[in-house]
């Protein structure tokens, strides 16, 4: 199948066009290429397809198709993601929710006679429409987040930048913006980095934010209780590393709540060791946050380093 420009039809049809000879030759080559048919152009809007139909060109047919429309333009481009010409999700939520959005393809059986003319058409399986996916994104908040990132980009010229806005009362994500922006209608000019939703698809060290998951996992497993206390030395050794606090201190006794409130490195490691050195990947999987069900939005796997680490017994 060969994709050509729609103007080719017009130039090939009009003998007074200065491009007539070249267009006619290209069109002749396309329609005589091996195969059942050749695409002249795909995803043609209704206005252009109507004009082509009015030309009444023999051998030129039309096939109904769908076109992605974006009422908000490029807003949340990396989050929403791109689709192929066949409507298959390629990135972002278009990929992660493709099975929901796509629905189920139907199947028909076409029987031709010896001359290749169709003599029967039977529907074997009916097609099923996909279902909509509703986001918590607020378009106004998303636009403002992208505006701020654009200003950051213009002022500081970073490699990239991202911003996430959440409602602290409900944990709903109101905006998830990435910079530089991407034009989903011009995928040929977009790089893989520009298509990446930085908020969920980029590798960042979790840092102290992971302490909350460690403590939550320990509470859920019964390893500690809200009233548990620990006597913590100034530092703690794990394998070949010495973990210390962000500021020097002596030996202290802290409760679970204090360990979180003070973001104690030694306290968090102590709680983690109380669970038998439970892998961070397992902790996230227990919370259904390992990304395995968010293909294209989060990485499929969490990389843990060192991979085979086990605490000293």
Q: Report how far Cα 103 is from the mean position of its chain's Cα atoms.
A: 19
Query: How far is Cα 74 from Cα 87, in angstroms, rounded to an integer?
Result: 18
**Local structure of residue 289 (DSSP, 8 states):** -
Query: How far is Cα 272 from Cα 282, in angstroms, rounded to an integer?
Result: 12
Backbone angles phi, psi at 248, to 5 degrees: -65, 140
DSSP string, 78-140: HHH--B-TTS-B-SHHHHHTHHHHH-B--EEEEEE-TTS-EEEEEEEE--B----------HH
239: alpha, beta or left, given left = phi > 0 and alpha = psi -120 to 50?
A: left
Distances (CA, A) of 195 to 81, 94, 242: 7, 12, 39
What number of helices (H) and strands (E) belong to the chain?
13, 8
**Local structure of residue 109 (DSSP, 8 states):** E
208 is catalytic: yes
Cβ-based neighbours of 115, under 8 Å, separated by 6 or more: none
Query: How far is Cα 30 from Cα 34, in angstroms, rounded to an integer?
Result: 9
Q: Which of 29, 99, 140, 208 is catalytic?
A: 208
Backbone angles phi, psi at 46, to 5 degrees: -60, -40
Q: Which residues are catalytic?
A: 208
């Amino acid at each position: 199948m060969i994709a050509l420009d729609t103007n080719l039809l017009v130039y090939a049809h009009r003998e007074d066009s200065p491009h007539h000879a070249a267009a006619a030759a290209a069109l002749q080559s396309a329609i005589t290429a091996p195969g059942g048919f050749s695409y002249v152009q795909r995803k043609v809007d209704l206005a252009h397809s109507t004009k082509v139909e009015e030309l009444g060109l023999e051998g030129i047919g039309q096939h109904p198709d769908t076109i992605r429309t974006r009422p908000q333009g490029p807003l949340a481009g990396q989050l929403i993601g791109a689709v192929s010409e066949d409507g298959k999700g390629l990135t972002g939520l278009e990929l992660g929710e493709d099975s929901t959005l796509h629905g189920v393809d139907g199947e028909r059986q076409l029987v031709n006679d010896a001359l290749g003319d169709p003599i029967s058409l039977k529907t074997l399986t009916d097609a099923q429409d996909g279902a909509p996916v509703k986001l918590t994104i607020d378009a106004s908040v998303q636009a403002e987040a992208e505006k701020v990132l654009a200003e950051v980009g213009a002022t500081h010229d970073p490699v990239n930048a991202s911003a996430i806005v959440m409602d602290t009362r409900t944990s709903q994500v109101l905006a998830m913006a990435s910079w530089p922006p991407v034009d989903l209608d011009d995928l040929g000019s977009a790089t893989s980095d520009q298509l990446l939703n930085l908020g969920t698809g980029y590798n960042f060290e979790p840092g102290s934010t992971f302490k909350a998951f460690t403590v939550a996992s320990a509470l859920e497993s019964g390893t500690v209780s809200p009233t548990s206390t620990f006597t913590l030395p100034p530092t703690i050794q794990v394998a070949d590393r010495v973990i210390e606090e962000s500021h020097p201190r002596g030996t202290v006794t802290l409760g679970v709540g204090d360990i979180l409130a003070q973001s104690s490195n030694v306290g968090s490691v102590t709680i983690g060791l109380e669970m038998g050195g439970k892998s961070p990947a397992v902790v996230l999987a227990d919370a259904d946050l390992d990304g395995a069900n968010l293909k294209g939005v989060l990485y499929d796997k969490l990389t843990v380093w060192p991979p085979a680490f086990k605490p000293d017994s």
